[in-house]
Amino acid sequence: MPTITEAIRPYETLIRHNPDGTIGSHHITISEVLRDGNVIAATANPPTAIAGADLDAVLGQATVAALVQVDSLKSVLATQTNAHAALMQQHEDLRVQAQAVAADNAELRHQAALALQTQDLQAQLAATSAERSALSLQVQELQAQLAQRDAA
């Protein structure tokens, strides 16, 4: 069964600086109806004028709450700053790795070009060797023909 509770808490404190130099202020509370800790209805109460000691008490509470929030936000900022520094270091590490990969890629492309040149040269060498063998056979045939002619 849900738990229904009512709570009144500080909601807003306004300080007004009047043209005559005086300061006026009022404080508003809010009444909330909660079901299992979740607000299901809320109504701002009429403003109440505050002065002197009341204002000091309200401002003291607001100051304490603000300082607590500042400390909390400083902690969050420190955590986020550390996370940012870690991400920046990771970014730098990845940038260095990317440069190394790019250098390796360039070297591999160079080696691939050399391999293609080597294949072309080997093909040219094989063709030249085949031509040389064919010419060598022609020379032998011509020498044989000359020998036969000289013998006759």
82-94 pLDDT tens trace? 999 999 999 999 9
The residue segments making up the domain with residue 114 are 52-126
Together in a domain, 56 and 120: yes
Q: Say if residue 58 is in the same domain as residue 42.
A: no
Q: Is the pTM of this model over 0.95?
A: no
Beta bridge mates, 30: 9, 44
In a domain, 26, yes or no: yes
Identify the segments of the chain with pLDDT beneath 50.
Answer: none
Total domain count for the chain?
A: 2
* pLDDT score, position 52: 64
Name the residue with tokens 């909390």: 72
Q: How far apart are the first and last CA of the chain?
A: 131
Instruction: Tell me: do 4 and 61 sit in the same domain.
Output: no
pLDDT at res. 50? 81
**Do residues 13 and 44 share a domain?**
yes
Is 150 among the domain residues? no
The C-alpha torsion from 135 through 136 and 140 to 142, rounded to 10°, is: 20
Query: Do 10 and 24 fall within a single domain?
Result: yes
Q: Are residues 17 and 46 in the same domain?
A: yes
Radius of gyration of the chain (CA): 47
Instruction: Report strand pairing: 38-44 vs 4-17.
Output: unpaired
